[in-house]
Homo-oligomer: A and B are copies of this chain.
Amino acid sequence: MVVADVDPFAVMNVVGLLAFAIAGALKAADAGLDIFGVGVLGVVTALGGGTTRDVLVDRLPASLAAVGEMSVALVGVGLALVLIHSLHGQVRDHPAFLTSDAIGLSAFAATGALVGVQAGVSPFGIVILATITAVGGGSIADILIGRVPVVLRDDFYATPAVVGGVAFLVARALGAPTGVPSALCAALVFTVRMLALRYEWRLPQV
């Protein structure tokens, strides 16, 4: 298989689905949910952002149209169940949770931007779609378990996605070849998110 033949959307989508299914399932375990709650929250976190994205651009969500997305999400939940039994200490601050969540954020920001281009939305629309796709699943999951969504608790949760969306636009405007804008977007989201976690970045109060 030649690299040029790889569909950037498909790669980012599978990575994001797996990472967010793991992050969502770990979050459910942290909240003390039982095995059904763990499965539901893993699936909702994995499928929520992309389904919202597809509804916004007025197309049948990929999560409903084919069996692929749900299958990948269930594999992710399975991996999380194995992981849960080997984790020690608070799941909320565990590197396994924070890293899988950051990977999901990065990959889904890229899928949001790619779908925005396909749907012919405005530049703002592309940044909005990148951000909503990235933070959507986790926010729905937080609301379901009665928490204020992380997107409002943590300054650098949506901010990295906004930065990634803008980088995607710039790379496209500069004529970067297929796959480069989305890879750059994902890499930047991940880097900014991990740095923000490591150095506890905060935005100023009003």
Using a CB–CB cutoff of 8 Å, the interface residues on chain A facing chain B are 29, 33-38, 40-41, 51, 55-61, 63-67, 70-71, 81, 84, 116, 119, 121-125, 128-129, 139, 143-149, 151-152, 155, 158-159, 202-206
Known: A55-B55, A81-B206. A60 touches B128 (CB 8 A): no
Which 8 residue pairs are nearest across A and B when measured between Cβ atoms?
A64-B125, A70-B124, A146-B148, A64-B121, A36-B203, A67-B122, A67-B124, A34-B205
**Complex alpha-carbon distance, A148 and B32, angstroms:** 13
Copies in the complex: 3
Known: A56-B61, A61-B56. A151 touches B40 (CB 8 A): yes
Contacts of A35 in B (CB 8 A): 203-206
**Complex alpha-carbon distance, A34 and B158, angstroms:** 13
A34 contacts B65, C-beta separation under 8 Å: no
